[in-house]
Amino acid sequence: MRCRIVGAPVQDGAGRMGCEMGPSALRTAGLVSVLAELGHEVEDWGAVEKAVARPVAHGNLALKALPEISAWTAVIAETAYAASRDAMPIFLGGDHSISAGTVSGVARRAAERGRPLFVLWLDAHPDFHTLDTTTSGNLHGVPLAYASGQAGFKGYFPDLPEAVDPARICAIGLRSVDPAERRAITEADVTVHDMRAIDEHGIAPLLRAFLARVEKENGLLHVSLDVDFLDPSIAPAVGTTVPGGATFREAHLVMEMLSDSGLVSSLDLVELNPFLDERGRTATLMVDLTASLMGRRIMDRPTRSHSGSL
């Protein structure tokens, strides 16, 4: 498979500095060489360059860096659209605000192909705030609401060529959800499996049911992996640590099941803050998880071919 690596060194959407170093840390941890060793053709497109931010004012005075995130979203969306033409793009964040651009860009590509886009959101948070409901003002908390066409973004963020159907979104690993987000994701019909559901049922049957839907509809699948999906005991390099996250084996199982499915067409790796890491252990884990998704395995098992992006 041809993979395109796209760095998105954005930290304006987070509450603390450091995420802009994420793409470099993932490259240093060996992402490109690991993908090549697995037999993939790798093109490294370097880093997206932010466009000039235009003045944007909003009634919610808590919002931080709205002009900057709007500008980032526009350029990342165009890059995601281009990178997904004949390859699987892997986007290196950067905070989770980059997904406003990555998801909207690949959604546009999926629509052109006449195939529905599904989104698997692996995160402690749903990131389903709108510009009106966020109280922190940190815009890494809004990308999924924006990309799924929720109200309140018009005139502030770039117009959406194609919104993702919220019913085709599955969020797994949630354990920190604000009341406004809880109401919004329920009303939007997003599939949610919080950590209690994982504790009760195990992660495999929950993911298996979602993948069956993607396959049934001949969909493309965008996976967005936030470091805080993982328990902070194994992945400390994130500014939004929430105890009780996915274990090492749960995370690898998710990636192995995604690999077996052959459905993944694009990937985000976000919220890695190397300043908070311990000798690169989180960056190394994120690279290892990507390797599991891209075909590294202990024993050979029958899989579908990795054809989701083509």
- For the annotated catalytic residues, the residue numbers are 96, 123, 125, 127, 140, 226, 228, 271
Q: At what angle do helices 281-293 and 248-261 cross, to 10 degrees?
A: 30
| Cis amide leading into 94 (omega within 30) | yes
Measure CA 247 to chain center.
Answer: 18
Residue 172: strand pairing partners: 122, 193
Count the neighbouring beta carbons within 10 Å of the beta carbon of residue 234: 14
The rounded distance, in Å, linking the Cα atoms of 86 and 247 is 34
SS (H, E, C) 174-205: ECCCCHHHHHHHHHHCCEEEEHHHHHHHCHHH
Report the DSSP pairing between strands 117-122 and 41-47. Answer: unpaired
